[in-house]
Structure 1
Amino acid sequence: MPMSQPDASGSSEDRVTPDDLLHTRTGTEVSPEDLVLASGKDVTPRSLEWARHKLETEGPAAMEKLLP
């Protein structure tokens, strides 16, 4: 059975995801637990303290730095 190949004739602009669709910001508050989970760490008292500090110093942008 033949496998279909991607259409190589289209420009790369047609296949690139627009930047505004790549951002994770939803307009909601980011919790320390959200930040810990987004960083790939386990939720522990130490990682929650890390996240609290990061949110205090960087604000919601802390999440954007992890998940652009």
Structure 2
Amino acid sequence: MDDNEPIISGTPAAARTVDAAGRHDARTGADQAWTAEDLAKAKGRDPTPKNIKRAQAELDELGPAAIERTVP
């Protein structure tokens, strides 16, 4: 695989997660910092105080798994 090729099998080079050595370097949703408001919005809920509180409780209980369940 040539990383300089713009598209291979419909996948742009910038979107590939396997490097030239065949290593898989996937990013997941939990690889970035998330707030309770972010999680509420990702679940399709309005960021009301009630929904933010529910999302914060989920983050406190599950940690990154709360994000992985919503944004794999």
Measured against the shorter chain, the TM-score band is 0.5 to 0.7
Which consecutive residues of structure 2, in runs of 5 or more, have no partner in the other structure? 1-8, 11-15, 18-23
Q: Please state which structure has a larger fraction of its residues in helix.
A: 1
Q: Please state which structure has a larger fraction of its residues in strand.
A: 2
Percent identity, please. Answer: 32
Q: CA 1:22–1:48 in 2, change beyond 3 Å: closer, same or farther?
A: same
TM-score by length of 2: 0.58
Higher RCO (CA < 8 A, seq sep 6+): 1
Residue 21 of structure 1, CA deviation? 4.4
Matching residue of 2:57: 53
Cα RMSD, aligned residues only: 2.4
Q: Which has the larger radius of gyration?
A: 1
Which consecutive residues of structure 1, in runs of 5 or more, have no partner in the other structure? 1-13
| Matching residue within 44, 60, 71 for 1:67 | 71
Count of equivalent residues:
54
